[in-house]
């Protein structure tokens, strides 16, 4: 064990290490609060000055994180846009986005930009952990070489690990602290230091043999979900053609106590992981001469679901002798999952775009999103409509896209002239169409 490893391990164990979280979004903010709540001094770094300002005022900008947590952590948690402050940190945890390019290739520009901003301020005796989802080899091929070029020796005087985030926003059953943490180190000493850090704040740390193994672990978790959701989405289309309710079938199959795990269809995939992560592996696999046809097929099925929903809305209107063009359509839920305000990769945005392109007059209602914010891929000037009997009755069709608990099912069912249900919430009836 090197001198720097011994010193850093002791500093961590004594809770005297300063932890810097780079990227204060849905992953970084709860992670920063978890460290602060465990007694560590935490410095948040983000290029978004508005987030830094809100943290200074102890205001949460993420719906499921209460402002009281920021107030309680005030003495231990601060934030800044000045990346030179990273030299004061003993551990630096990178939690920035890893989206796709328009060609569905990995976009590591946020990771690479963050690393370049940090490089002048890295020093002997630090630990750096990448938490952003990425392809196997990123830590060793993208992160490690610039650090070594600076003259730092990985595993001796500087420590490098990959530990993928596993956040599930608004899940009441799991927190950052209780979700097991997978970790792989560039060297055995790196893994030891990483485990020492994360074990201070997370109940279980799972060590794997390398950073590549940890990177592939995260991809497997989300590809598993993407493929199975693709399966039930395809089965939904087939079942609908047969006049069967796929949700009834899934509920029945789920009574089998072994060999079956239920997955549920929807209007498409959303969020920062499942629609994106499979393509990180398919891109990397091509470098080894492999075509991941099974994974890509599931991705294609999931990507087609917004079109299926729009076709379903159009056909349902046609049965009422109304064309889609000129019809008033209300979309319920713009977030990618229920009970959150997160719109990243939400299929609702694609459904909105397709309906507008078809000439429909579209509004939306989402209690978590009062105004549609600008995203990297869309910009709609719309505000959420309040759900009242009169409002619902004024539309030709109402489509449930996100099943927020705040929605009154009785109100929606009673006052919607035509209801298209993409989540299996309502029983099929004269005014209800499954999609």
Active site residues: 273
Tokens 């919607």 -> residue: 416
Q: Tell which residue, 159, 161, 164, has the closest CA to residue 31.
A: 164
- Could you give the angle at the alpha carbon of 27 between the alpha carbons of 26 and 29, nearest 5°? 75
As to burial, measured by CB atoms within 10 angstroms (0-12 exposed, 13-18 middle, 19+ buried), residue 1 is exposed
Q: How many CB atoms lie within 10 A of CB 166?
A: 20
Q: How many CB atoms neighbour CB 101 within 10 A?
A: 11
């Amino acid at each position: 064990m090197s001198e720097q490893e011994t010193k850093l391990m002791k500093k961590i164990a004594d809770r005297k290490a300063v932890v810097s979280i780079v990227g204060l979004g849905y992953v970084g903010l709860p992670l920063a609060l978890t460290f602060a709540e465990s007694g560590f001094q935490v410095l948040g770094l983000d290029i978004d000055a508005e987030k830094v300002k809100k943290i200074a005022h102890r205001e949460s900008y993420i719906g499921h994180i209460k402002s009281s947590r920021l107030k309680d952590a005030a003495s231990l948690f601060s934030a800044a846009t000045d990346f030179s402050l990273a030299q004061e940190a003993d551990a630096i945890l990178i939690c920035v986005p890893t989206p796709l390019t328009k060609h569905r290739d990995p976009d590591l520009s946020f990771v690479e930009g963050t690393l370049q901003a940090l490089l002048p301020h890295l020093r002997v005796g630090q630990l750096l952990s990448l938490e952003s989802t990425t392809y196997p080899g990123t830590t060793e091929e993208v992160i490690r070489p610039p650090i070594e070029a600076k003259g730092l020796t990985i595993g001796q005087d500087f420590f490098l690990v990959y530990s993928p985030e596993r956040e599930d926003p608004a899940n009441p059953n799991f927190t950052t602290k209780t979700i097991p943490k997978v970790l792989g180190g560039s060297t055995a000493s790196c893994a030891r230091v990483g485990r020492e850090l994360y074990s201070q704040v997370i109940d279980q740390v799972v060590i794997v043999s390398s950073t590549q193994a940890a990177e592939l672990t995260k991809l497997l978790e989300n590809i598993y979900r993407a493929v199975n959701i693709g399966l039930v989405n395809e089965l939904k289309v087939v079942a609908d053609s047969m006049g069967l309710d796929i949700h009834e079938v899934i509920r029945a199959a789920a009574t089998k106590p072994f060999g079956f795990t239920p997955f549920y269809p929807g209007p498409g995939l959303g969020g920062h992981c499942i629609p994106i992560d499979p393509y990180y592996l398919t891109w990397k696999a091509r470098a080894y001469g492999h075509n991941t046809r099974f994974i890509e097929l599931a991705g294609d099925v999931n990507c087609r679901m917004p079109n299926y929903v729009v076709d379903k809305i159009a056909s349902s209107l046609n049965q009422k002798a109304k064309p889609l063009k000129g019809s008033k359509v209300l979309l319920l839920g713009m977030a990618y999952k229920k009970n959150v305000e997160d719109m990243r990769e939400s299929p609702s945005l694609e459904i909105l775009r397709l309906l507008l392109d078809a000439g429909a007059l579209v509004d939306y209602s989402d209690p978590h999103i009062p105004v549609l914010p600008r995203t990297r891929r869309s910009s709609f000037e719309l505000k959420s409509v309040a759900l009242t009997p009169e409002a619902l009755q004024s539309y030709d069709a109402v489509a449930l896209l996100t099943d927020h608990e705040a929605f009154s099912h009785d109100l929606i069912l009673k006052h919607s002239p035509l209801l298209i249900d993409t989540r299996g919430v309502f029983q099929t009836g004269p005014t209800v169409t499954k999609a």
